[in-house]
Amino acid sequence: MNQLLIVRAHPYGPDRSRSMQMADAFLAGFRETHPHSAVEDINLYSAAVPEIDIDLLSGWELLRKGEQFSHLSALQQAKLTLFDNYTTQFQNADIVVIANPLWNLSVPTRLKAWVDTVCRAGVTFRYNSEGRAEGLASGKRVVHLQASGGRFGGNDPASKWLRTVFTFIGCEFEQYVAEGLDHEPERADEIMHQTLQTVRQLGRDCLTEPAQ
């Protein structure tokens, strides 16, 4: 059974967020043609997402030195467990959909924190004997859905960064954007209508070969 993971990165729901409308459209299409597939749907703004901080860094350092996990502080244990849970959730998914707005040429900070949980040396990538990085997440498909007020053609820093990260760890990566929504407000409804149709069809067909 194929497993879908949807990662939403916006504090608003689909009534106020166009990127969340895109996530809903993908999910609706997916459920039409894959009703028995497992789906995990998370919103990073209604969940605890651990940022790499002194507790995580010091906890990892102690573990590398041979300290027992049970000897770490309660806070270190909680943060490390939560961090690992996000990693495992990503590893278990066959298809990962990331939906976010473009904010100030970047992704929301909680999405950056989540990406840190899935881009991990020795887990989703490794260094070979020559010191070259090798992705360990091959066979996984990542679909990026993004809404933006301006037009960038997929060349904004946020899109390029996500593509770099997920191709680095070995994933198939593709992107669908709704853009120019503020630049051409008179066309915003038309742009979204076309985008949502495309994304819904993508959800229906997502277990076929990814787009090149």
Domain 3-205 CATH assignment equals 3.40.220.10: no
Pairing of strands 125-127, 3-8: unpaired
Pairing of strands 172-178, 38-43: unpaired
Question: For 59-91, how does the pLDDT look when each residue is reduced to its tens digit (9 = 90+)?
Answer: 999 999 999 999 999 999 999 999 999 999 999
- Token pair 């806070």 in the structure block, residue: 75
Question: For 158-170, how does the pLDDT look when each residue is reduced to its tens digit (9 = 90+)?
Answer: 999 999 999 999 9
Q: Which range among 76-80, 118-122, 180-184 shows the weakest confidence by mean pLDDT?
A: 180-184
Distance of CA 38 to the CA centre of its chain: 17
d(CA 34, CA 27): 10
pLDDT the model gives residue 208: 61
d(CA 20, CA 56): 30
d(CA 95, CA 93): 6
d(CA 19, CA 21): 5
d(CA 93, CA 9): 18
pLDDT the model gives residue 77: 99
d(CA 25, CA 16): 15
Tokens coding 151: 């037009």
| Mean pLDDT calculated for residue range 97-101 | 99
pLDDT the model gives residue 1: 65
Q: Which residue has the higher pLDDT, 212 or 123?
A: 123
| Cα separations in angstroms, 188 against 15, 17, 18, 148, 193 | 15, 13, 10, 11, 9
- Percentage of the chain exceeding pLDDT 70: 97
Instruction: Taking each helix axis as running N to C, give the angle between helix 54-64 and helix 74-92, from 0 to 180 degrees, rounded to the nearest 10.
Output: 90
Identify the band that residue 210 occupies on the pLDDT scale cut at 50, 70 and 90: very low
Identify the band that residue 212 occupies on the pLDDT scale cut at 50, 70 and 90: very low
**What pTM was computed for the model?**
0.94
Q: CA 38, 96, 12, 145: dihedral to nearest 10 degrees? A: -130
